[in-house]
Amino acid sequence: MPYLATPLICNRDDAWIGKGYYFWYEEMDAIAWGQESKKRYHKYVIYTADIDFEDVLDTVFNEEHYLFWYKIIDRIADDAYKKTGRKPTIAEVNEIIKIRNSWKAVKGIMFQDLPNNPTLNKVIILLYRKRIQLVAFDLNIIHNFAFHFEAEC
């Protein structure tokens, strides 16, 4: 199988932060995602890359960036609820962000959720580890993109 020379853009409606190039911070999360999301293909491929963080909104480790992120998402959710009477979907939030051009000069966003995979959690119920992803909106901030390994699921 030929390996990619550049990352594939994610266009899925349920992509967390919309259209972009997604990377996991930790290899174990990339593996867990590959094993779960690529079952029908029976294998997955992991790549590595260096990311230029100069214009990346770091909502994980930078408090100012996180508060900016939180306010925008919260405001969008409140506005959508007032208009429709229901919570918006990820696709709807991403569409509003795109229309409003909320990120403007942002070339990527690093964000987190809490992994609820019991095999990755070392303590029962205590979700102490962040599951971190980065979405790059601009291919130019991705450097040294390279094949890492391929595995079966």
Q: What is the pLDDT of residues 76-99, one digit of tens each?
A: 999 999 999 999 998 899 888 888
The token pair that represents 26 in the structure block: 């930790």
Write down the domain spans for the chain.
21-61+106-152
| E strand map for the chain | 21-24, 43-51, 56-58, 108-113, 131-136, 142-152
Least confident of 62-71, 72-81, 84-93, 116-125: 116-125
DSSP 116: -
Least confident of 36-40, 52-56, 59-63, 142-146: 36-40
- List alpha helices for the chain, DSSP H: 27-37, 63-84, 90-100
**What is the percent of the chain where pLDDT is above 90?**
70
Please give the pLDDT value at position 89: 92
Please give the pLDDT value at position 103: 75
Is the pLDDT at 104 greater than 80? The verdict is no
Please give the pLDDT value at position 100: 84
The token pair that represents 146 in the structure block: 């390279």
Between 101 and 30, the higher pLDDT residue:
30
Q: Is 137 within 8 Å of 87 (Cβ atoms)?
A: no
The span from the CA of 104 to the CA of 113, in Å, is 24
Confidence band for 143, pLDDT divided at 50, 70 and 90:
very high
Beta bridge partners of 136: 21, 108
Please give the pLDDT value at position 65: 96
Average pLDDT score over the chain: 91
Please give the pLDDT value at position 21: 98
Please give the pLDDT value at position 147: 97
Least confident of 45-49, 119-123, 136-140: 119-123
